[in-house]
Copies of this chain bind each other. A is one copy, B any other.
């Protein structure tokens, strides 16, 4: 049994996963891929950084910026009010976690009021509110383009430490485990917005974008096919989360996924389960087969020491 000290309250009540930032030497090609092929739309570009939106109301869901090697730029979550941002700063201080950016207006596209800090593997985490909204582009989702960022899977060298930090400090809940290899974490009724994957080094495994239905999902795959982009793995449907999947590589070699129909969790009655890692359960349709060595290699990425903002 645990002998640890009483758990402090999480620093905030996260509402949604807003966006992810990636760093890559191929930033121009990658931004072009996401806009012209993948279906996002550039909202702003500045000094080599591109901000791209989906069809939903979030100002941007992807930031692509220049970097020496492929790596994570930032993960951004929303909270409700500036007061919650300030309170989070106070609680981070109580826990002895240093801020990378003090609460204040965010110096980036869409602005908002937020703060930043690093997680134990040196990934930059941002929480914010009052970010400028944009009008939905395709309000009823008829176009087969991504609506929002669905989730990000992170390779981790210490999955237990990662889960402890994201649940204790950030208040996320573990929805399911895939044995002791992957953990799926949620902030709202979506089954997961972050998943950790036990790996040899810290890196981004992949980012997933939500399509409005299975029909949109299939039409998205068809649209990519007409542009000569074929899945690395999929289409298929996962066991944990029950979401459909089809994985691709972007112009920088990062893995991106179309997904749809992720399971909705009823907070009161959901019980965390442990799924066995059998082909049947990671591919409920049976259409995908096991992932190839190639896709596994893309998903492994390259070691990402983090802390890029200090350099």
| Chain A residues in the interface with B (C-beta under 8 A) | 1-2, 4, 6-7, 15-16, 78, 80-81, 83, 86-87, 89-91, 94, 102-104, 129-130, 133, 139-140, 142, 164, 167, 173-174, 187-189, 214-215, 218-219, 221-223, 225-226, 235-237, 266-274, 283-289
Q: Given that A6-B90, A80-B174, A173-B80 are known contacts, is A284 also in contact with B219, CB under 8 Å in the complex?
A: yes
Tell me, rounded to whole Å, the shortest Cβ–Cβ distance linking A77 to chain B: 11
Q: What is the chain B residue whose CB lies nearest that of A141?
A: B140
- For A4, A80, A188, the residue with the greatest tally of chain B CB atoms inside 10 Å of its CB is A80
Query: By the criterion CB–CB under 8 Å, are A218 and B189 in contact?
Result: no
Tell me, rounded to whole Å, the shortest Cβ–Cβ distance linking A211 to chain B: 12
Query: By the criterion CB–CB under 8 Å, are B286 and A225 in contact?
Result: yes
Q: Given that A81-B174, A268-B189 are known contacts, is A102 also in contact with B1, CB under 8 Å in the complex?
A: yes
Query: By the criterion CB–CB under 8 Å, are A237 and B214 in contact?
Result: no
B residues less than 8 Å from A267 (CB atoms): 268
Q: List 17 A-B contacts (CB under 8 A).
A: A1-B102, A2-B90, A6-B90, A15-B269, A16-B271, A80-B173, A80-B174, A81-B174, A130-B274, A140-B140, A188-B269, A218-B287, A219-B286, A221-B287, A222-B236, A225-B287, A226-B286
Bound Cα distance A235, B231 (Å): 14
Tell me, rounded to whole Å, the shortest Cβ–Cβ distance linking A270 to chain B: 7
Query: By the criterion CB–CB under 8 Å, are B188 and A272 in contact?
Result: no
Q: What is the chain B residue whose CB lies nearest that of A142?
A: B139
Query: By the criterion CB–CB under 8 Å, are B272 and A80 in contact?
Result: yes
| Residue in B7, B81, B188, B283 whose CB lies within 8 Å of A222 | B283
Q: What is the chain B residue whose CB lies nearest that of A79?
A: B271
Bound Cα distance A214, B164 (Å): 38
Q: Given that A83-B167, A174-B80, A214-B214 are known contacts, is A1 also in contact with B104, CB under 8 Å in the complex?
A: yes
Bound Cα distance A86, B289 (Å): 39
Bound Cα distance A14, B259 (Å): 32
| Residue in B81, B218, B288 whose CB lies within 8 Å of A272 | B81
B residues less than 8 Å from A6 (CB atoms): 90-91, 94
| Residue in B78, B94, B139, B235 whose CB lies within 8 Å of A218 | B235
Bound Cα distance A289, B221 (Å): 12
B residues less than 8 Å from A215 (CB atoms): 214, 237, 285
B residues less than 8 Å from A86 (CB atoms): 1-2, 4
Bound Cα distance A189, B189 (Å): 16
B residues less than 8 Å from A4 (CB atoms): 86, 90
Tell me, rounded to whole Å, the shortest Cβ–Cβ distance linking A173 to chain B: 7
B residues less than 8 Å from A91 (CB atoms): 6
Bound Cα distance A225, B288 (Å): 9
B residues less than 8 Å from A174 (CB atoms): 80-81
- Sorted nearest first, the 7 A-B pairs with minimum C-beta distance are A222-B286, A2-B86, A188-B268, A1-B103, A222-B287, A218-B285, A222-B285
